Amino acid sequence: MGLFIKKSIEALQAEAEQSGSKSLKRVLGPISLIALGVGVIIGAGLFSITGTVAAGYTGPAITLSFIIAAIGCCFAGLCYAEFASMIPVAGSAYTYSYATMGELIAWIIGWDLVLEYTVAATTVSISWSRYMVFFLNSIGIELPHAFTACPWDGGIVNIPAILIVIAMSLILMRGTAGSSFVNGLIVFLKIAVILVFVILGWQFIRTENYIPYIPENTGALGEYGLSGILRGAAIVFFAFLGFDAVSTAAQETRNPRRNMPIGILMSLLVCTILYILFAHVMTGVAHYSEFSGQEGIAPVAVAIEHMGTPGADGVIVPAYPWLNKAIVLAILFGYCSVIMVTLLGQSRVFLSMSHDGLLPPFFSRINEKYHTPVHSNFLFMVVVGLLAGFIPAEVAGEMTSIGTLLAFTLVCAAVLIVRKTMPDAHRAFKTPFVPVIPILGILTCLCMMCFLPADTWIRLVLWMLIGLDIYSVYGIRHSKLEPNLRHRKGDMVLNIMGLILSVLCVITGLWHQQTVGWNADQTLLIISFVFAFTHCAYYMWRMWKHSHK
């Protein structure tokens, strides 16, 4: 079968039934799964880049962006639910792709998922740091800006963001049962905070803040107007990756065939309703322009300062000063669950890829005492910690969105394939109205990807090229389905994909430079050209070597 060899459903189901000291514990029920999904969805969407999107792309119409994103998520969620009931194994879309589209496509989607979870955890960690600074300032403690912001935001290193990543990683290393209990408590607190925010904030909504509800487009694609709403939907789409994270915990779930679809769909429904209500209040109590700049990464902190009545000098006096501090403190705890679940998701994907031989076996070793992949947890603690300390949140947020959208697109396509190739496989849940739902999911996700900034596409292509390099050097030879083979059938497809990605490097580099102006900084253009030419040479050499073997 070569690079498109597939894992059988029987093998995956047998893997799911493994038990013992070196396997993951089945400790999660439907309530825990819903809490897991709600925990990561709510924090990532409402409390981080919502303000930035409203200020720069949508205005008050961010509620429409959430609705569009939710529709796309609904299509993808129905497809995820079918696979989760059919293949209850850790690894999410990576595992589903391995069973339906073969190893090479599975590697690509797995590598994309690693990107998705890594930058999601990074984004939320940076936002957590911003809320912590805001909270400490409110009680008279001022931290040096140099050590609470990255170099691009005028600082040196974001130390609070690094510390929260380390703390959540250490909790995960000690076991899923304990981290699930902590997550459940935090989710309860977070939902209570949202309801308080909506109920109390509703009375301070000023209708003039909604005018115009859809600001006029500035003349640039994605800056307000319809294109801004679509770009906003694409960027906030990463906020819905919670049900994706739920699917990575399949091997730690009791009765996964029944409980996984419940966890995925119910967490999506609950959070969509909360998103729309929350965004409506947020942009009603404060004008969308108030969320611009670095403050946009902590939009709730801005909004609660506007929950009050103007004094004689025109300055708003908060009606509930005690509530302001309480809400921010609760958000800080709530963010912990977001960071924890995204770190859990990426380590489980890495675990699955390592278990299949595509990554070194070091990353699939399970700690006998805690039953967790501590090596993967430690790796991502270091990587995410460094990213959170040194890059701006806006870049990480956009990268999460494009990774999520690509993953959802492939899962929707996989449902179409598996209905043809495995029509008799047992499914506890079936995606309704196939092929309509999967096709709509594919089109919605691709449409939103097209409205993401050009520099985001450059980074995605570069990441995919790096992943292809790792697979061509290591994974292709160590796959457990076809081990110890230097040359495998389909190798030419891999080389062609490398050349296509190299060409896309040039195209996206030129697209980005045209967007920002030819006199602007050309660092990304230079990087894209260097990657393109070196990888063209590498994959052409592989093609020559293959033809002369």
Residue 158 has φ and ψ, to the nearest 5°, of -95, 85
Q: What are the Cα distances from residue 485, in Å, to 358, 472, 539?
A: 13, 12, 19
- Which bin fits 453, alpha (ψ -120 to 50), beta or left (φ > 0)? beta
What is the tens place of the pLDDT at every residue in 195-236?
Answer: 888 998 999 999 999 999 999 998 888 899 999 999 998 888
Mean confidence (pLDDT) of the chain: 83
Helices vs strands, H then E, count in the chain: 20, 2
Decide if 236 contacts 53 (C-beta within 8 A): yes
Residue 22 has pLDDT above 70, yes or no: no
Strands 316-318 and 308-310: antiparallel
What is the tens place of the pLDDT at every residue in 392-408?
Answer: 877 776 777 788 888 88
At residue 25 the predicted structure's pLDDT band, cuts being 50, 70 and 90, is low
Decide if 37 contacts 246 (C-beta within 8 A): yes
The closest of 98, 105, 141 to 9, measured between CA atoms, is 98
What is the tens place of the pLDDT at every residue in 495-512?
Answer: 999 999 999 999 999 999
Written as one string, the DSSP assignment of 438-488 is: HHHHHHHHHHHHHTS-HHHHHHHHHHHHHHHHHIIIIIHHH-SSSTT-SS-
Q: What are the Cα distances from residue 189, in Å, to 72, 192, 196, 335?
A: 28, 5, 11, 11
In this predicted structure, which of 25-29, 205-209, 285-289, 448-452 has the lowest mean pLDDT? 25-29
Q: What is the pTM of this model?
A: 0.79
What is the tens place of the pLDDT at every residue in 70-121?
Answer: 888 888 888 887 887 777 665 567 887 888 888 998 899 889 888 888 888 8
What is the tens place of the pLDDT at every residue in 423-444?
Answer: 887 777 788 889 999 999 999 8
Residue 21 has pLDDT above 50, yes or no: no
- Return the higher-pLDDT residue of 320 and 525: 525
Percent of the chain with pLDDT over 70: 88
- Residue 177 host element (H or E): helix 176-202
Residue 5 has φ and ψ, to the nearest 5°, of -65, 145
